[in-house]
């Protein structure tokens, strides 16, 4: 296993920093939509999703450093889908890729802890390097997941400002006496935790910020100087959804150095024979390897 996927004693933030500096910022999504499986001449089944996922991993290895399987597209096939996902995750680990499990879990107490154990415990069949989580019950409700991540050298990305229009009314709402926007409050909370847990330049706890959004409307001033330990950003919305990876600095300002440029359909639609060249093209076009 290569350095990218080998946790060792390094924090997730340290490993992510190495990947971003050596392999660039592009993250390839693994999203076996039914229509994509058809386009790839695969059955809409657990077997088809497994073949799809393993091919995406193969095409990504050696080109990018991060992949992000969307777990829902495996989960829809039940236990067979999870077995397929386990094999895709194993391939990604063996290829030395950092894996962000896009699971968007959110709960409290022992239930939150169990979600963390499933996705972040070293040796778990579903082990990933990081997972996405939902803080609807407050970032504090995720404390068991965050504690496990810190102990195990894993990462967590908290939804803050998402690209779906339905989310804006909640994420732009004001909270507290200062009237801070919800999305900004989540970013601030995660940033504080990074300052408390990390000593390196990049934190292990990140946020999800949509690349197609006017982040100012969510109370987020990207021009403001970030804290000593930068909070990483998982940024969907590039490629098919319209954002251009060449505009990362403009979109995310002071956070740009820690942005993960997530693309799925823009490369997956190329098909099984051309996906590797599509990934290479996106790297070249976007200048994703920022160094």
Find residue 175's DSSP bridge partners. 180
Per-residue pLDDT, 9: 58
Kindly compute the dihedral angle of the four CA atoms of residues 78, 83, 88, 94, in this order, to the nearest 10 degrees: 160
Examine the residue annotation and report whether 104 is marked as an active-site residue of this protein.
yes
Q: 271-277: which pairs have CB atoms within 8 A and are 24 or more residues apart?
A: 271/39, 271/40, 272/40, 272/41, 272/55, 275/55, 275/56, 275/59, 276/58, 276/59, 276/63
**Structure confidence at residue 197 (pLDDT):** 84
Q: CA 101 to CA 50: how far, in whole Å?
A: 15
Alpha-carbon gap, residue 129 to 79, rounded angstroms: 22
* Helix and strand element counts for the chain (H, E): 12, 10
pLDDT block averages, 10 residues each, the chain of length 291: 53 96 95 98 98 98 97 98 98 98 96 97 97 95 96 97 93 91 97 89 96 95 90 88 82 95 93 96 67 42
243 DSSP 8-state letter: B
Longest Cα separation, the chain: 56
pLDDT for the residue 2: 41
pLDDT at position 291 is 42
- pLDDT score for 177: 83
What is the fold of 3-286? TIM Barrel (3.20.20)
User: Which token pair is 195?
Assistant: 């300052």
Domain ranges, ordered by start, for the chain? 3-286
CA-based radius of gyration for the chain: 18
DSSP label of 226: P
Residue with tokens 């039940």: 78
Read off the DSSP letter of residue 202.
B
> Which is nearest to 256 in space by CA: 235, 277, 280?
235
Catalytic residue among 104, 265, 281, 290: 104
- pLDDT score at 245: 79
Tell me 230's DSSP state: B
| 3-state secondary structure (DSSP) of residue 10 | coil
């Amino acid at each position: 296993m290569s350095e990218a996927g080998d946790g060792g004693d390094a924090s997730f933030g340290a490993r992510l920093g190495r990947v971003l500096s050596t392999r660039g910022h592009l993250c390839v999504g693994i999203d076996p939509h039914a229509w994509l499986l058809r386009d790839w001449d695969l059955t809409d089944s657990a077997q088809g999703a497994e073949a799809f996922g393993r091919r995406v991993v193969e095409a990504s290895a050696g080109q990018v450093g991060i992949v992000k399987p969307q777990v829902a597209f495996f989960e829809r096939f039940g236990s067979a889908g999870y077995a397929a996902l386990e094999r895709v995750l194993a391939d990604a680990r063996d290829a030395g890729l950092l894996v962000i499990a896009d699971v968007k879990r959110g709960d409290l107490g022992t239930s939150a802890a169990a979600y963390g154990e499933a996705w972040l415990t070293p040796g778990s069949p579903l082990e990933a390097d990081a997972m996405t989580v939902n803080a609807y019950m407050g970032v504090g409700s995720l404390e068991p997941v965050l504690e496990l991540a810190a102990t195990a050298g894993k990462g967590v990305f908290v939804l803050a400002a998402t690209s779906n229009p339905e989310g804006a009314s909640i994420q732009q709402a004001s909270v507290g006496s200062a009237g801070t926007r919800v999305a900004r409050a989540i970013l601030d909370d995660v940033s504080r935790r990074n300052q408390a847990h990390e000593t390196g330049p990049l934190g292990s706890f990140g946020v999800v910020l949509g690349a197609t959004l006017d982040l100012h409307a969510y109370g987020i001033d990207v021009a403001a100087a970030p804290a000593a330990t930068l909070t990483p950003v998982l940024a969907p919305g590039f490629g098919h959804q319209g954002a251009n990876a060449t505009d990362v600095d403009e979109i995310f300002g002071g956070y740009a150095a820690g942005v993960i440029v997530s693309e799925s359909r823009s490369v997956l639609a190329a098909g099984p024979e051309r996906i590797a060249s599509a990934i290479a093209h996106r790297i070249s076009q976007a200048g994703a390897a920022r160094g």
